[in-house]
Amino acid sequence: MPSASPTAEISFVDLAAQHARIEADIAARIAGVLAHRRFIHGPEIAELEATLAGRAGVGHCVAVGSGTDALLVALLAHGIGAGDAVLVPAFTYMASANAVILAGAVPVFVDIDPDRLTIDPADLEWHLARLRRDGTLTPRAVMPVDLYGLPADYDALDGIARRHGLFMLVDAAQSFGARLGDRAVGGFGDATAASFFPSKPLGCYGDGGALFTDDAARASTWRSLRHHGIGDDVMSSERVGLNARLDTLQAAVLLAKLGIFDSELDAREQVARHYDARLTGVVSAVAPRHPAARSAWASYAIRVPGRDRVAARLKAAGVPTGIYYPHPLHQQPAYTSYADGPLPVAEAVSADILNLPIHPYLKPADIDRICDSLEAAVSG
C-alpha cells in the first residue's frame, strides 16, 4: 500500500473511511427500519440494549437520546435535586456540569489526578469533608469522568462512595469499550452513562446515548423517564419525564458498527502505541495510561509548553489538533457561581493540553508525519 503523500489531508476523525468499510451493513440495517417503519421503539432498540448490556457485563442497558440525556435521567431517577451536591471533576466537558444543574442540584468541582487526568480521590475526600463541615449542601453523588477513554480509579472511588453513602454515576461518554482489570466500562459504580456522539469510539449518525446498571428497578425508572414518565398505560404519566428516547435508525447504525468495534479498538491501541514510541521524551507528557486499564482512546492527549504556538505550527503543516479542554469548568462563565477556590492541576493541564488525531484508519505514515511535524514545532 503506498504511503500517504506529504500533502495528503489528515483527518482528526475519519468517519468516511469507517463508513466505506461497513456501508453495505449500514444500508441493510437502515433498509430494515424503513421496511418496518417503527422509527421509535423499533425492534433494533431492544436488540441494541441487549447487545450493549452483554458487552458491559451488566443486566440492563437503557438506550437514550444522548450522553447528556443519560446523565440527567440517571440523576432524576435517583431523586437528586435542590439542596444536593454532585461532585464532578473540573477538567471535563460541560455536559457533566449541565446535567447536574438541570436536575436542580449543585456541581462541586474537584481537581484531577496529574497522571490519570481523571477525578482525584484525595481531593474528592477533601471536598466531601468540607461539605460536611459547611452543612449547606447534602453530598449525594459523585460523577467520575473517564477522560479520553481511560477508566478512572474505581477501586479508590468505590470505597469513598460507600463510606459516604454516595450514588456513583460514571460518565463514560468517552470510554465505552475500555476495561479496567477484567471488568468492562459499564459495570462500575451504581450506574454508567455512555455517549454515542459520532466522534466517539462507538458513535451513531447523530446523537445517542445509553445507561447501564444491574438494578432492574432503576432500569425500569429510566425507561419511564426517557418516555415522558409513562407507566404501563402509555397515556398515563407516573412521573415527570423527558423526551429522551434513542430513535430506531440510530440503533440500526450502532448495531452495524458493533460488528467492527473490537477491531477498531485494537487499531486505536496500535495508533496510541505508535505515538507513545515516537513522542516519549519529545513532549512534557504523552497520553495517560494505567497498567491495569485498557483505554478506548477517544482522544490522544499530550502536554506541551507553548501549546498554542505548537498548535498553530501544526496547523500550518496540515496537521489538525484539538484542545480538550482550554478552560476547566470552574473558570467558565456558566459555572463561576459554583466555583469555590483554585484547582491547580486542572488549571495547569488546561494550559498545555493538546489533542492529536487518533482513529482506527490513521496510517503509520500519517502518524510519523504528525510526529515529525510535532517535533519540528516543539524544537523550532
pTM recorded for the entire structure:
0.96
Fold of 21-258: Aspartate Aminotransferase; domain 2 (3.40.640)
The pLDDT tens digits of the residues spanning 85-114 come to 999 999 999 999 999 999 999 999 999 999
Query: Which part of the chain is CATH 3.40.640.10?
Result: 21-258
Q: Indicate if the pLDDT at residue 5 is higher than 90.
A: no
Measured CA distances, 152 to 3, 15, 146, 180, 241 (Å): 37, 27, 5, 9, 30
CA–chain centroid gap for 276, Å, is: 22
Fold of 260-379: Aspartate Aminotransferase, domain 1 (3.90.1150)
Helix (H, G, I), strand (E, B) or coil at 348: helix
Burial tier of 235 (Cβ tally within 10 Å: 0-12, 13-18, 19+): exposed
Query: Which part of the chain is CATH 3.90.1150.10?
Result: 260-379
Q: How confident is the model at residue 2 (pLDDT cuts 50, 70, 90)?
A: very low
Q: How confident is the model at residue 7 (pLDDT cuts 50, 70, 90)?
A: low
The pLDDT tens digits of the residues spanning 188-217 come to 999 999 999 999 999 999 999 999 999 999
